[in-house]
């Protein structure tokens, strides 16, 4: 019986170095391999010309470099592209590329479904199956790069920004997410600036406190309500970690971060006649007065079987004005890719639900 080959795309930079040392090789071989994979898109060991023939033969015998395969591609009229990737067992996860004049932003998934089950989110409605592995997460970036191109030009990166805002709660897959961040930031990996990698969270306060000073990437908090009573309904994890606990942990994180330039991004999905009144805007101003932040207002992206609706432009404008007049930096996010269900909150993939309850959140190891 032959043992299963080792997938080098499942390793962090540190693990790769240790792996090559264990083979009797110099640790710099890890840097060479990473450049071939993540900067040139090469997965065939025979094409890695700066590795000697003996090492290449050894790697072919014991290792592979594989990422989940793209099974469908959809492209919207605004250029937004959504890919569904096969992660086995009949399940798919979705990844979205959002092109802009000065950047290409890739939104990636970290779990198969999502256990947080925000009331308005299509991903949560699909249920939850498991955490994605390192190669399944970084593989999304790799597959997207194979479509838009790899570049040897340090001044031009076809994928310039990566946001963990797709399917799943990144902080509930902490170990793998941190390894992926290492690959994204490494000079021998995708070599992105720490300010161009964003982890979005619904507010897993103990984990935020744990990684403060250890992980330094941009942070976005999905808030969506100005008080605990409403947030308990919209974002059920709030029953575990209330707004005060979450904001305290956010402040702790950004105090120890260079990537955030001293402030967090607050994500706020506007739901018609639910959380979008001027009174709620005023409550949000009061809540965030001592939190260095910018606020992204996201008009709800409607999807099938949802009871929520997008507010009118006038309600959105009034909410925006309250925050703006209070001195906040406020952005009204332009909806991208909604015609292919690629907009915020619309990703669904194909999930075999294993957990319909919240106990996996309650028992998260921190």
The secondary structure of the chain in percent helix, strand, coil, rounded to multiples of 5, reads 40, 20, 45
Using CA of residue 271, residue 291, residue 204, residue 331, what is the dihedral sign?
positive
- HSE value, Cβ hemisphere, 13 Å, CA-based, for 332: 14
- Which residues are marked as active site? 94, 344
CB count, 10 Å around CB of 264?
A: 23
- Measuring CA to CA, how many Å separate 43 from each of 14, 228, 300? 20, 49, 40
Do residues 225 and 182 touch, judged by C-beta distance below 8 A?
Answer: no
Q: Which residues contact 194 (CB under 8 A, 6 or more apart)?
A: 185, 216, 217, 218, 258, 259
Do residues 188 and 38 touch, judged by C-beta distance below 8 A?
Answer: yes
What is the phi/psi pair of residue 270, to 5°? -90, 120
- CA–chain centroid gap for 277, Å, is 29
Q: How far apart are CA 76 and CA 78, in angstroms?
A: 5
What is the phi/psi pair of residue 162, to 5°? -125, 125
Do residues 83 and 109 touch, judged by C-beta distance below 8 A?
Answer: no
Classified as helix, coil or strand, 72 is strand
Do residues 284 and 268 touch, judged by C-beta distance below 8 A?
Answer: yes
């Amino acid at each position: 019986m032959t043992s299963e080959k080792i997938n080098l795309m499942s390793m962090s930079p540190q693990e790769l170095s240790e792996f090559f040392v264990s083979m009797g090789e110099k640790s710099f071989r890890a840097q060479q391999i990473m450049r071939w994979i993540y900067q040139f898109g090469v997965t065939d060991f025979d094409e890695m010309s700066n590795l000697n023939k003996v090492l290449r033969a050894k790697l072919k015998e014991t290792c592979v470099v594989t990422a989940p395969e793209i099974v469908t591609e959809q492209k919207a009229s605004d250029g937004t592209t959504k890919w569904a990737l096969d992660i086995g067992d009949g399940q798919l996860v979705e990844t979205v590329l959002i092109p802009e004049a000065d950047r290409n932003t890739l939104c990636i998934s970290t779990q198969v479904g999502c256990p947080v089950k925000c009331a308005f989110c299509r991903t949560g409605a699909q249920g939850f199956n498991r955490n994605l592995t390192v190669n399944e997460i970084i593989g999304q970036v790799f597959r997207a790069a194979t479509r838009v191109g790899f570049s040897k030009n340090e001044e031009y990166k076809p994928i310039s920004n990566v946001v963990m805002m797709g399917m799943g709660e990144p902080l509930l897959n902490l170990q793998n997410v941190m390894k992926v961040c290492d690959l994204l930031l490494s000079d021998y990996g995708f070599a992105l600036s720490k300010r161009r990698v964003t982890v979005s969270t619904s507010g897993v306060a103990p984990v935020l406190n744990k990684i403060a000073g250890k992980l330094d990437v941009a942070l976005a908090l999905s808030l969506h309500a100005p008080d605990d009573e409403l947030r308990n309904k919209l974002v059920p994890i709030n029953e575990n970690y209330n707004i005060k606990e979450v904001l305290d942990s956010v402040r702790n994180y950004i105090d120890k971060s260079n990537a955030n330039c001293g402030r967090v991004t607050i994500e706020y999905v506007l739901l018609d006649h639910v959380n979008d009144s001027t009174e709620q805007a005023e409550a949000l101003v009061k809540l965030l007065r001592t939190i260095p932040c910018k606020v992204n207002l996201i008009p709800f992206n409607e999807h099938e079987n949802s009871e929520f609706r997008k507010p009118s432009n006038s309600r959105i404008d009034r909410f925006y004005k309250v925050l703006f007049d209070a001195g906040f930096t406020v952005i009204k996010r332009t909806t991208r890719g909604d015609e292919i269900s690629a907009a915020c909150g619309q990703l669904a993939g194909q999930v075999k639900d294993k957990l319909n309850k919240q106990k996996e959140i309650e028992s998260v190891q921190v």
